[in-house]
Copies of this chain bind each other. A is one copy, B any other.
């Protein structure tokens, strides 16, 4: 059965965390919005599906996934559903619930990264909230970046199943999502992320290892990978970036 991913066109957004899992696994999927209109593609069809009055299990917002009759929304929920089916979940209950906790923590970091450019309202233009955006971005770079990235560095360092991945002894959706998080943060805050390689050597190597996986490398070169841009979660506004001087404590 072909997985149907439903997400906004023209941006990586939250859909990208799901695309990376599907691409790594070589799964049979279709990015529905990119289909021709007569095959159900386009933003109009997405809005219509969102407003379908006959859907008994309506999603709050994209992305949502259809697997046959089943409909699933919320990014971390979709990843939790896909991970074991795609061979991207760790083994055992402790590692499963730990992976879920990490995935949710990545989602929290994504919200905070988004809110650096929209601290007042998602429905208002960035230009109408520039001053608070500067204040929020400055705090994000100084305090939140090291808190999140330092935590993930620690998780990799402590992984009892050997070095390299976040949880368990192989690649999981958590690693793919960490790659995407770091890529997005580096795009949005090149100056703020300057300390990253030195401060988080294990997480940095993990990202390189994800990027080098054959399916991911091919995907990143393809036109299925939408470039980062200023309609997504991670936006490069030079006035929000500033030199990062953060360090990560080894605990």
For the complex, is A180 an interface residue (Cβ under 8 Å from B)?
no
CB-nearest residue of chain B to A80: B100
Shortest CB-to-CB span from A244 to chain B, Å, is: 16
CB-nearest residue of chain B to A107: B104
Shortest CB-to-CB span from A134 to chain B, Å, is: 10
Complex contact A105–B74 (CB within 8 A): yes
Main secondary structure of the interface of A (DSSP, over half): helix
| Copies of this chain per assembly | 2
In the bound complex, residues from chain B placing their C-beta under 8 Å from that of A71 are 94, 98
Stretch at the interface among A21-29, A116-124, A213-221: A116-124
Shortest CB-to-CB span from A63 to chain B, Å, is: 11
* Given known contacts A139-B123, A139-B124, A60 and B115 CB-to-CB distance under 8 angstroms: no
In the bound complex, residues from chain B placing their C-beta under 8 Å from that of A251 are 51, 53
Identify 21 residue pairs between A and B in the complex whose beta-carbon atoms are under 8 Å apart, listed by A's number: A57-B158, A58-B154, A58-B155, A58-B158, A60-B101, A60-B105, A71-B98, A74-B100, A74-B101, A74-B104, A74-B105, A77-B100, A77-B104, A81-B97, A115-B115, A115-B119, A119-B132, A120-B135, A121-B135, A123-B143, A124-B139
Which A positions have Cβ atoms within 8 angstroms of B? Answer: 51, 53, 55-60, 69-74, 76-77, 80-81, 93-95, 97-98, 100-101, 104-105, 108, 111, 115, 119-121, 123-124, 129, 132, 135-136, 139, 143, 151, 154-155, 158-160, 251
